[in-house]
Structure 1
Amino acid sequence: MRVPLPALLCCSAASLLLLLLRWRRRRGLWKKVKQAQQRQERSLVQMQMAVQRFREQHPSVKMVPILSLPLPELSKKLRDGSLPPDHVFYAYVGKALQMATETNCITEYLQESETQIQKAKLTEKLGLLYGVPVSIKDSINCQGHDSTLGFIKNLNKPAAEDSVVVQVLRRQGAIPFVKTNVPQSLISYDCKNLIFGQTFNPLLYTRSPGGSSGGEGALIGGGGSILGLGTDVGGSLRFPAAFCGICGLKPTGNRLSKKGVVAGVLGQKAVVAAVGPMAKDVESLALCMRALLCEDMFHLDSTVPPLPFNEEVYSSTQPLRIGYYETDFFTMPSPAMRRAVREVKELLEDAGHTLVPFELASVDRVIFNFCVRGMFADGGSSFLRKFKGELENSSMGLFFWLLRSPGWLKTALSWIAKPFAPRFSDILKSMRANTVDEVWSLHCEIEEFCHQFIAQWKKLNLDVMLCPMLGPALGIGYPPMGSLCLQLAVSYTMLYNALDFPAGVVPVTLVTDEDEEELKGYQGYFRDWWDRTLAKAFRGSVGMPVAVQCVALPWQEELCLRFMKEVETLSLKKNMIV
C-alpha cells in the first residue's frame, strides 16, 4: 500500500521538528555547562588575584611553615593570636589553587570568605575552629552557591541557606572557602561529571581520587585544605580518604545533622548516609567533631541527639579488645590490603591490645538483598528521574537500560545469567521494583541482621573492630560501566552503612614491589568479569597509600576515633623506624 505524499511529508516534518527541538535542548544544556565551566575558571582567577594581592601587601609572610602545621597546633596559634587568620587563609587559598590546577578538585571559590576573614580579624577569637579554612563537598549546601551533584539541571539554583553543619562551622569560627567536585549523582567511587570533568588523585594523576567525596580527598590529600566535610552512603567518604592517603570518619548516620545536605538517592532508608570530617590526621577529625557536637547543632536540628563529644572515652589509654578479619570472602582483598591488616594486628598486639578473629557471614546477602535492593527498591525509578533531561553519559548506558527494563525481564535475565555470572544475576534480581510490604519486610530483615551482628560482637566482648579498606586507589576510568560495578567492590564499606556503625579509615602503609608482584596471581573469589576488572584497576600502584578501617558500635564515634588514633600512632612509629 502506497503512503500518501501529504502524510509522508507530515511525518518527515514532525521528525525534523523533533530533531530540531532535541538539538536545541542539547545546545541549551551545553551552554549551561559552558557557563558553569567559565564560572569555575573565574573562581580560580579570583583565587589567584586574592593570593597575589595578599603577597604584595605582606611580602615577608612565609606560606610553607603555615601549611606544615597540623590542625590542632594551627588552631591553637590562631586562637592565642600568634598567627593572624588572614595569613592562614591566603596560604591555603594559594595551595588550593595549585591543587585545583593539578587535579581539578574545586568547583567554586566562596569569595565571601574573604569578607569573613577580614571580620574575623576584628572579632573575639571564639570557637574551636576560629580562622580555620574549611573545604565543603558540592552536595552540602552553602548559601548562594549551587549543590549540583554533577547534574546540569541543578546549575544556577543557589542554596537559600547554609546546611546546618556549615552554619555550625561558621559559628565555631571556621571559614568555608571552596566547594569540591563529585561524580554525577554521587553514586560512584570515581569522581567525574559532565559539567566539571574528571578529578585526579594528587599522589598519582593516573589514579582515581575516589568518590563521591573525591574533590575533598584530592584537595586535602594534596595539602590544599586542612579540614573538609564529606558524605558517605557506601564508602563515599572513606574511599577518597583511603585513595588519597588521608583520614576520614563516617559517623553514625544521625550523629551529625544532614539538614541541608542533598542525597544521591532520596527517600531510601536501607543504606544509611552520614556526614563526616576528612583531614590529614585523626586528631584533626576529633577536633572537628568536638566543634560540631555542640549546642548550636542540637538547636538548629532537633532530630540530632544532644550527645556532646565524650573526651574521657577519646583520651582513654586502657587496652582494647579488638575484633579483626582479613577478608569478607566476597571481594578478595588486594595483597596490600591483606598485608595492611596483618601488620596493624601485630602492632596492636605488641602494644598490649587483645586481637580476636571475627567471622563475617552473609556478606553477599548484605550487598545484594540489603544494599542494592534497598537503594533501588523502587526499581530505580527515582534514581532514573534524576537523569531525565540530562546529557547522555555513555558509560551508564547498560545500567540505565537494566533499570528501565520491566520486572519480568530483569527476572528472566537473572535466571539466564545465574549459571555463568552469579553476581550479575543477583544484581539483576535485586533491582526489581518492590511492593510496600516487601520494603517493610526488608527493613525488618536489616534490623534483625544488625541485632545478630551486635550479639556476635558482644559475645566476643569486643570494643572495636579492625577491617580491610579497599585499596590502593583504582586507575582512572574504573569501573568502566558506571554504577553497575559499584555494588560489588564496596562490600568492605557499605556493610557499615547498612548496620549504621561509625567507621573511619587510617592510612598505614604503601604498596610495595612485592605486593605488585603478588597481584599477578589475583583472581578473586568468583573469577568473573568484575574480579578481573578489579585486578586491572589495582595494578601499577607501587608507592600508593593503603588504609585500614576502624569500626565501633553505633553512637561510639569517640571510641572509634580513639582506636583510629592508636592505629595511626603505631603505624607512624613503625614507618619511622623502617
Structure 2
Amino acid sequence: MRVPLPALLCGSAGLLLLLLRWRRRRGLWKKVRQARQRQERSLVQMQMAVQRFREQHPSVSMVSILSLPLPELSKKLRDGSLPPEHVFYSYVGKALQIATETNCITEYLQESETQLRKAKLAGKLGLLYGVPVSIKDSINCQGHDSTLGFIKNLNKPMAEDSVLVQVLRRQGAIPFVKTNVPQSLISYDCKNLIFGQTFNPLLYTRSPGGSSGGEGALVGGGGSILGFGTDVGGSLRFPAAFCGICALKPTGNRLSKKGVIPSVLGQKAVVAAVGPMAKDVESLALCMRALLCEDMFSLDSTVPPLPFNEEVYCSTQPLHIGYYETDFFTMPSPAMRRAVREMKKLLEDAGHTLVPFELTNVDHVVFDFCIRGMFADGGASFLKKFKGELEKSSMGLLFWLAKSPNWLKTVLSWIAKPFMPRFSSILRSMRANTVDEVWSLQHEIEEFCHQFIAQWKKLNLDVMLCPMLGPALGIGYPGKLSVAVSYTMLYNILDFPTGVVPVTLVTDEDEDELKGYQGYFRDWWDRTLAKEELCLRFMKEVETLSQEKRAA
C-alpha cells in the first residue's frame, strides 16, 4: 500500500516538532539541575567558611552575637568592641541552619568574604558597618541572577548592583545571601520550579508568605538580622506577619527601585516599594537612617532628598489613631480581630486617642483598582513572562484568565454573577483595556486617594491601626486565597507607608473559633480561608506596649 506524499511530510514534520520540543524541555531541565547544584554548592561553601572560622576562633560565642539587637550590634561593630568577622560568620552559620530547615536561600554571595576583609581596612565607617544583610532574589546584585523564579532568567548575571545594594555597601553593610521567591512574584506563597518550596521557620507545615518569603523565613528564623524585599500588594507584610517579624513598606519612591525587577513592567496603578525586614522596629529605623543619605539621593535622582526625620520618630506626643477590625471584604480571623482590640485598649491606656474608621467599597478597590490596574492589558504582559517556561500550573486561575479572550471573560462574568459575585468581578477586571479606559482608571484612582485623605483629615488622624492577615496559612493555601490581599493592597493603591509589628500569638481559642468561620460572601475563598518616620514611630509604640503586656 502506498502512502501519499503529503501524509508522509506531515508525519515527518510532526515528529520533528516533537523532537525539537523534547530537546528544548531537556535543555530547560538541565538549567534547573545546574541551578539546584549551584544552590547546594552555596550551602557547602557556607558550611566550609563557618567551619574554618570556628577552627581558627574556637572561643567566639556565636550565640551571644546572634542575640544582640541590630542597634547594639551596630554600635559594637563601629566602636571596635566586636570584630566584623565574628558577626559575619555567626550569621553565615545561622543562615546555613535556617536554609537547611526552610529552603530560603538561593545563593551565597561569596564575594561578601572579600568585602568583609576590605571593610576592616575602611577608614570611614557607615551606619551599617559590618552588618550582614540578606537580599531578595529580584533585587539586583552584580554577578548574580535575578530569576523571579523563571528558568529563562538563569545564567544571566546582573551587570551592576541595584542602587539599594550600592548604598548598603557604602554604608558598610555586607550583602551575603539572596533569598527565594514565588515564580513571577505575584503570589504571597514562596515556591518556584527552580528552587522549590520555602517553609515557615516557626512551623514547617505553614507558608512563610510572599513574595519576599525567603527573606521572611531567614529573618524570622534568626539567620539574618536585616533583610530587604519588595512589596506590590503585601509582599513584605505577608512574610512579616506569617514569620513573626517587623517590616516597613515605604511610599513608592522613598527608597530607590533602580535595579529592582518588578512583577509587571510599567504598571503604575498599584505602587510597588522596596523595604526592610527585621526582628524589631528600632532596627528598621536604623536601616532607614542609613539608607536615606546623599548616596541614595545622588545615585537615583527620582528619590526625594529627604533625610530621616528624628524629630518625628522620637516624638512622645499622644497620637490620634484611626482603627478598624475588618475591611468588610475578607472577614478577619479571630486572631486578627483580637489583636486589633487588644492593641486598641493598650494604646488608649497609654494616653492615645482611638477613632473608628470605616472602610467602604473595598471590593471596588480590589477588583477595579488592584486587579484591573495590575492586569490592564488583560494579562498579556504577565503571560509573556511564562513563554517557554516548563511549569505554569502554580499560578492556576490567574494564568487561565490571562489566556482567555475578552469575550469569554465577559460571558463567564455575566453567568457567574448571581452565584459567585467575587469570581464574576475578577473575570470582569481581567479584561484588556483601551488606552482611554486606562487613563480613566488612573483618574478614578487619583480621586479615590483624595477622598480617602479627606476622610483621614476630617477625623484629624495621625496614623491607622488595622489588621494584618493571619495566622500563617498552610503550604499551598495562599494560591487558593488570592482575595485576602484586600488587607494589604489598599495601601499600595493609596501609596501610604505601612508596617507590620507582631503583637500576639494565636491561641487555642482562636483556632476553635476559626472552625466556625464563614466569611462575608461564603464563596470558595471564604471557605478556604503618610510618612515613614511617623509610621515607624507608631510601630514602635505598638511594639513597646505589646512587649510590656507580655512581660507583665
Instruction: Kindly indicate whether the alpha-carbon contact (under 8 Å) linking 2:496 and 2:530 is maintained by their aligned counterparts in 1.
Output: no
Aligned to 1:509: 504
State the secondary structure of the residue aligned to 1:296.
helix
Cα displacement (A) at 1:8: 4.6
Distance 2:396 2:291 in 1: 41
Cα displacement (A) at 1:353: 0.2
Aligned to 1:483: none
State the secondary structure of the residue aligned to 1:139.
coil
Cα displacement (A) at 1:573: 0.5
Instruction: Kindly indicate whether the alpha-carbon contact (under 8 Å) linking 2:386 and 2:392 is maintained by their aligned counterparts in 1.
Output: no
Distance 1:487 1:442 in 2: 22
Cα displacement (A) at 1:231: 0.3
Distance 1:82 1:437 in 2: 62
Cα displacement (A) at 1:3: 8.2
Of 68-77 and 486-495, more deviation after overlay is shown by 486-495
Cα displacement (A) at 1:2: 12
Cα displacement (A) at 1:120: 1.2
Instruction: Kindly indicate whether the alpha-carbon contact (under 8 Å) linking 1:378 and 1:433 is maintained by their aligned counterparts in 2.
Output: yes
State the secondary structure of the residue aligned to 2:321.
strand
Aligned to 1:56: 55
Instruction: Kindly indicate whether the alpha-carbon contact (under 8 Å) linking 1:523 and 1:535 is maintained by their aligned counterparts in 2.
Output: no
Instruction: Kindly indicate whether the alpha-carbon contact (under 8 Å) linking 2:334 and 2:513 is maintained by their aligned counterparts in 1.
Output: yes
- 1:293-328 C-alpha deviation (Å, 9 max, x unpaired): 000000000011001000000000000000000000
Distance 1:398 1:373 in 2: 15
- 1:369-411 C-alpha deviation (Å, 9 max, x unpaired): 0000000000000000000000123233443222111111100
Cα displacement (A) at 1:6: 4.6
Distance 2:6 2:231 in 1: 58
State the secondary structure of the residue aligned to 1:76.
helix
Cα separation, partners in 2 of 1:535 and 1:366, compared to 1, 3 Å: closer
Cα displacement (A) at 1:124: 2.5
Cα displacement (A) at 1:15: 1.3
Cα separation, partners in 2 of 1:404 and 1:59, compared to 1, 3 Å: same
Aligned to 2:484: 489
Distance 1:487 1:225 in 2: 29
Count of paired positions:
547
Runs of 5+ consecutive residues of structure 2 not aligned to the other structure: none
Distance 1:460 1:437 in 2: 35
State the secondary structure of the residue aligned to 1:490.
helix
State the secondary structure of the residue aligned to 1:248.
strand
- 1:423-448 C-alpha deviation (Å, 9 max, x unpaired): 00000000000000000000000000
Aligned to 1:498: 493
TM-score by length of 1: 0.93
Equivalence map 1:277-296=2 (5 Å) = 277-296=276-295
Distance 1:512 1:518 in 2: 10
Instruction: Kindly indicate whether the alpha-carbon contact (under 8 Å) linking 1:522 and 1:535 is maintained by their aligned counterparts in 2.
Output: no
Cα displacement (A) at 1:5: 5.8
- 1:12-50 C-alpha deviation (Å, 9 max, x unpaired): 211111111111111000000000000000000000000
Cα displacement (A) at 1:535: 33
State the secondary structure of the residue aligned to 1:534.
coil
State the secondary structure of the residue aligned to 1:122.
coil
Instruction: Kindly indicate whether the alpha-carbon contact (under 8 Å) linking 2:292 and 2:308 is maintained by their aligned counterparts in 1.
Output: yes
Equivalence map 1:15-164=2 (5 Å) = 15-124=14-123, 126-164=125-163
Distance 1:30 1:235 in 2: 31
State the secondary structure of the residue aligned to 1:328.
coil
Of 134-143 and 527-536, more deviation after overlay is shown by 527-536
- 1:55-81 C-alpha deviation (Å, 9 max, x unpaired): 111111110000000000000000000
Instruction: Kindly indicate whether the alpha-carbon contact (under 8 Å) linking 2:234 and 2:488 is maintained by their aligned counterparts in 1.
Output: yes
Cα separation, partners in 2 of 1:525 and 1:516, compared to 1, 3 Å: same
Instruction: Kindly indicate whether the alpha-carbon contact (under 8 Å) linking 2:104 and 2:215 is maintained by their aligned counterparts in 1.
Output: yes
Distance 2:397 2:23 in 1: 26
Cα separation, partners in 2 of 1:287 and 1:535, compared to 1, 3 Å: closer
Instruction: Kindly indicate whether the alpha-carbon contact (under 8 Å) linking 1:421 and 1:528 is maintained by their aligned counterparts in 2.
Output: yes
Cα separation, partners in 2 of 1:154 and 1:32, compared to 1, 3 Å: same
Aligned to 1:406: 405
Distance 1:3 1:569 in 2: 83
Cα displacement (A) at 1:487: 4.3
Instruction: Kindly indicate whether the alpha-carbon contact (under 8 Å) linking 2:382 and 2:402 is maintained by their aligned counterparts in 1.
Output: no
Of 243-252 and 16-25, more deviation after overlay is shown by 16-25
Instruction: Kindly indicate whether the alpha-carbon contact (under 8 Å) linking 2:126 and 2:170 is maintained by their aligned counterparts in 1.
Output: yes
Distance 2:401 2:508 in 1: 40
Instruction: Kindly indicate whether the alpha-carbon contact (under 8 Å) linking 1:136 and 1:216 is maintained by their aligned counterparts in 2.
Output: yes
Distance 2:509 2:193 in 1: 38
Instruction: Kindly indicate whether the alpha-carbon contact (under 8 Å) linking 1:213 and 1:237 is maintained by their aligned counterparts in 2.
Output: yes
Aligned to 2:535: 560
State the secondary structure of the residue aligned to 1:88.
helix
Instruction: Kindly indicate whether the alpha-carbon contact (under 8 Å) linking 1:79 and 1:125 is maintained by their aligned counterparts in 2.
Output: no
Cα separation, partners in 2 of 1:375 and 1:382, compared to 1, 3 Å: same
Cα separation, partners in 2 of 1:3 and 1:523, compared to 1, 3 Å: farther
Runs of 5+ consecutive residues of structure 1 not aligned to the other structure: 479-485, 537-556
Cα displacement (A) at 1:121: 1.5
Distance 2:239 2:418 in 1: 35
Distance 1:224 1:249 in 2: 19
Cα displacement (A) at 1:520: 1.1
Distance 2:205 2:169 in 1: 36
Aligned to 1:534: 529
- 1:336-373 C-alpha deviation (Å, 9 max, x unpaired): 00000000000000000000000101100100000000
Distance 1:249 1:510 in 2: 20
Aligned to 2:5: 5
Distance 2:130 2:503 in 1: 30
Deviating beyond 4 angstroms after TM superposition, the runs of 4 or more aligned structure 1 residues are: none
State the secondary structure of the residue aligned to 2:396.
helix
Cα separation, partners in 2 of 1:73 and 1:3, compared to 1, 3 Å: same
Cα displacement (A) at 1:125: 5.3
Instruction: Kindly indicate whether the alpha-carbon contact (under 8 Å) linking 1:367 and 1:487 is maintained by their aligned counterparts in 2.
Output: no
Instruction: Kindly indicate whether the alpha-carbon contact (under 8 Å) linking 1:372 and 1:487 is maintained by their aligned counterparts in 2.
Output: no
Cα separation, partners in 2 of 1:489 and 1:19, compared to 1, 3 Å: same
Cα separation, partners in 2 of 1:92 and 1:388, compared to 1, 3 Å: same
Distance 2:116 2:41 in 1: 21
Cα displacement (A) at 1:503: 0.2
Aligned to 2:196: 197
Distance 1:70 1:31 in 2: 43
- 1:255-305 C-alpha deviation (Å, 9 max, x unpaired): 000000000111110000000000000000000000000000000000110
Instruction: Kindly indicate whether the alpha-carbon contact (under 8 Å) linking 1:247 and 1:280 is maintained by their aligned counterparts in 2.
Output: yes
Cα separation, partners in 2 of 1:124 and 1:314, compared to 1, 3 Å: same
Cα displacement (A) at 1:533: 1.2
Distance 2:59 2:333 in 1: 48
